[in-house]
Amino acid sequence: MQMSDTPMPLRLIVFDFDGTLADTSRHIVLTVQRTQKAMGLPVLSEEQCAGIIGLVLKDAFSTLHPSLSDEAAEACVDTYRRIFAETLAGFPPKPFDGVVEMLERLRAKGITMAIASSRSSRSLRALWADMQMPVEMAMMVGSEDTERHKPDGEPVEKILEALGVPAAATLVVGDMPVDILMGHNAGARTCGVTYGNASRELLEKAGADFVIDDAPSLLGVVERLCV
């Protein structure tokens, strides 16, 4: 889908979860490395492991280890999920600074909010509950909810269809290039965040319409798009 030539006042924000709302990068990297060790694979650097954040797990391991068979990649996914649960028990993730206040102010403005994540729906909802987030999302889409995944636009398109909001009135917010590409592929405007896992340069290269350095700055973007 092509982005609308005539944007409408903002009605909906679709957030990525990991690296955008929740500070889970360390959890993910540690779990990927522990999975690699458990599976007898080369343990890659933190930078390499962080680079796959935003992909569904099978694609992530296949990207890091291209010679993996489908069966081995699926085994990595199962091992990752077990180890991730153990990692969470040691230090549960928290929202980034300013995220809770930002979400509360968006709710007060009447902005509808949703999440499109490459994480499984079960894991996404469990983490959301564990963090005791005070703002309810209108919809959460996880990896098993769509046939195609980021950077394809289907996760956002599913939300738009369910909520009855046009792409031209939607902003997609994420920390990785795949989030920006997902938003544009769905026809929405996009905002990259640099406090997650990708640099401003990478987000701009992916085509982000806006780039912010902290969560509260999203409110300024919203003010511009609500007129």
- Read off the CATH number of the domain in which 47 is found: 1.10.150.240
47 and 114 within one domain:
no
61 has a pLDDT exceeding 50: yes
* E strand map for 24-131: 112-116
Burial 4-24 (b: 16+ CB within 10 A, else e): eeebeebbbbbbbbbbbbbbb
CB 205 within 8 A of CB 178: no
Same domain, 75 and 138: no
- Domain extent at residue 172: 12-23+93-225
- Per the structure, how many domains does the chain have? 2
Residue 3 has pLDDT above 60, yes or no: no
What's the rounded mean pLDDT across residues 14-21?
97
Dist CA 34 CA 43 (whole Å)? 8
Structural domain includes residue 141: yes
**How many other CB atoms are found less than 10 A from the CB of residue 40?**
7
39 with 110, same domain: the answer is no
Identify the DSSP state of 2. P
Is residue 51 situated within a structural domain? yes
Q: Please report whether residue 7 resides in a domain.
A: no
- Residue 49 shares a structural domain with residue 118: no
Whether 1 is covered by a domain: the verdict is no
Active site residues: 16
In CATH, what number is assigned to the domain containing residue 98? 3.40.50.1000
Length of the chain: 227
Q: What percent of the chain has pLDDT over 70?
A: 97
Give the separation between CA 68 and CA 80, rounded to whole angstroms.
15
What tokens does 170 get?
């939607």
pLDDT number for residue 90? 78
